[in-house]
A and B are shown apart, each in its own frame.
Chain A
Amino acid sequence: AQTVTQSQPEMSVQEAETVTLSCTYDTSENNYYLFWYKQPPSRQMILVIRQEAYKQQNATENRFSVNFQKAAKSFSLKISDSQLGDTAMYFCAFMKYNNNDMRFGAGTRLTVKP
């Protein structure tokens, strides 16, 4: 079974600074997908960024980037130039290739301080 671990229950960062959220996972699969989802307070969960395991190049979406270390089974999220609107729960998720069973971590609550 696949498990996803987010070891930081809560984090905070000053506005305009950079923060990195950690995620590790356990799998015996070689092909899989990894995702970061954001859940703002009282709002719906939205996809932030995704990575295919067979791609070595780290995914980037504007201020969001990942550090994917396949051998270490690590998938951290870096948020640059943090904004107040980045305050949310962030969930790391794993999905096997060609299988829709997405497994989520317990989440990291990020607070961006003005």
Chain B
Amino acid sequence: EAEVAQSPRYKITEKSQAVAFWCDPISGHATLYWYRQILGQGPELLVQFQDESVVDDSQLPKDRFSAERLKGVDSTLKIQPAELGDSAMYLCASSARISSYNSPLHFGNGTRLTVT
């Protein structure tokens, strides 16, 4: 079964450094999401793409976070500079189209970020 690929699996960085995460959605999936999951909490949406366009980034801390999906396929999430409070699991998910009831979210394994 096709999967959402994420890398790296783990990342340790010092505060004030830059860090980037990569996601490759399931082939053909037009919608891509980045979620942040703080330990002990449920995932929270950071940004949603439809093809190469941002649909929703209202919860993305834009002073330090950026996301792109230039060719409408894979995506990169960047944090610069990283802060201690950014330590979390960053999950990427994809779905075939906008209405995801009939095309549910498929999640990757996530990138666990630790900021020291």
Contacts and interface: CB of A to CB of B under 8 A. Distances in A.
Interface of A: 4, 33, 35, 37, 42-47, 50, 52, 91, 93, 95, 98, 100-102, 104-107
Interface of B: 3-4, 31, 33, 40-45, 48, 55-56, 91, 93, 95, 98-101, 104-105, 107-110
Contact of B40 (A50, A104, A106): A106
Contact of B101 (A42, A50, A106): A50
Contact of A47 (B40, B48, B91, B105): B105
A105 B42 CA distance: 5
B34 to A, nearest CB: 13
- B interface, by DSSP: helix, strand, loop or mixed? loop
Contacts of B31: 100
